[in-house]
Chains A and B, each alone.
Chain A
Amino acid sequence: GEDVEQSLFLSVREGDSSVINCTYTDSSSTYLYWYKQEPGAGLQLLTYIFSNMDMKQDQRLTVLLNKKDKHLSLRIADTQTGDSAIYFCAEKKTGFQKLVFGTGTRLLVSP
C-alpha cells in the first residue's frame, strides 16, 4: 500500500510493557524511525534503526524490524505514565530520502 499504517490506540497499565506496531511501504527504505509527540509539542526522535539491522535496544526501548513483512515494532518496557503520548513511525525512502510518517498510535498509560 501507499500509506504507513499503525493501530490508532493502545492502553496499558503502568509497569507493563507496551508494543506499538507499524507496517511501512518501501522494502528498500534506508532508515526507520520512532517519534513521540506529547500534546502541543513537536516531534521528538526516540530511536531509529538502519535497514540492515533487525533489532536495536536503547534502555527501555526495543525496536524490531522485519524487512520481509515490512513490519516495525517499538516495545517500551516498564511503561510509565510519562510515556503517554502519540507515537509515530516513519520511513526514509530510497532515492531522495523522502521521510513519510504513519498515522500515529495514541498510547495511554494508566496508574
Chain B
Amino acid sequence: EAGVAQSPRYKIIEKRQSVAFWCNPISGHATLYWYQQILGQGPKLLIQFQNNGVVDDSQLPKDRFSAERLKGVDSTLKIQPAKLEDSAVYLCASSPGGEAFFGQGTRLTVV
C-alpha cells in the first residue's frame, strides 16, 4: 500500500513570499490532517478535513494560511505571505478512522 505522499520535500523562500505544499493521502482515507512542527516541539494541528469538508481549523492562522482538499482526495496548504516564524516542517497525515499515517513532511525555511 502506498503511503502518504508530500511535496516538495524542502522549500526555501524569502519572507513575504508565497508557498504551497501538496499532499496525496492514502487511498480511501476520509480524514486528512495538516500539522506544523517547529524545531524542538510536537506537531501542532493546523487543519483537519473529513472528506472535503473542514472539521477543525481552530489553530490555522487564517490571515495567511489556507488549505483545501479537492474532491476529498489531495490537499494543498498555502501560506501567503510567509513570515520568519513559519519556518517549520509541515506534515500531512491521513486516517481511515483509527490509525493515522504520516508523510515525510515538507521542511520550510523562511529567510
A interface residues with partner B (beta carbon < 8 Å) = 4, 31, 33, 35, 41-45, 48, 88, 90, 92, 96-104
Contacts and interface: CB of A to CB of B under 8 A. Distances in A.
A96 B55 contact: yes
Nearest to A47: B99
Nearest to A31: B98
B101 A45 contact: yes
Given A43-B43, A96-B55, A101-B43, 7 more contacts: A4-B42, A31-B98, A42-B105, A44-B102, A88-B42, A99-B93, A101-B35
6 smallest A-B Cβ distances: which pairs? Answer: A96-B55, A43-B102, A101-B42, A42-B104, A101-B43, A42-B102
Contacts, number: 56
Interface in B52-111: 55-56, 91, 93, 95, 97-105
A99 B100 contact: yes
B48 A98 contact: yes
Contacts of B48: 96-99
Interface residues on B, range: 20 to 34
A45 B95 CA distance: 12
B95 A99 contact: yes
Nearest to B6: A42
Nearest to B104: A42
Instruction: Identify which of A31, A41, A42 gathers the most chain B CB atoms within 10 Å of its CB.
Output: A42
Contact of A45 (B43, B97, B100): B100
30 contacts: A4-B42, A31-B98, A31-B99, A33-B100, A35-B102, A41-B104, A42-B91, A42-B103, A42-B105, A43-B43, A43-B93, A43-B102, A48-B98, A88-B43, A90-B100, A96-B50, A96-B55, A97-B48, A97-B95, A99-B33, A99-B48, A99-B93, A99-B100, A100-B45, A101-B35, A101-B42, A101-B45, A102-B42, A103-B41, A104-B42
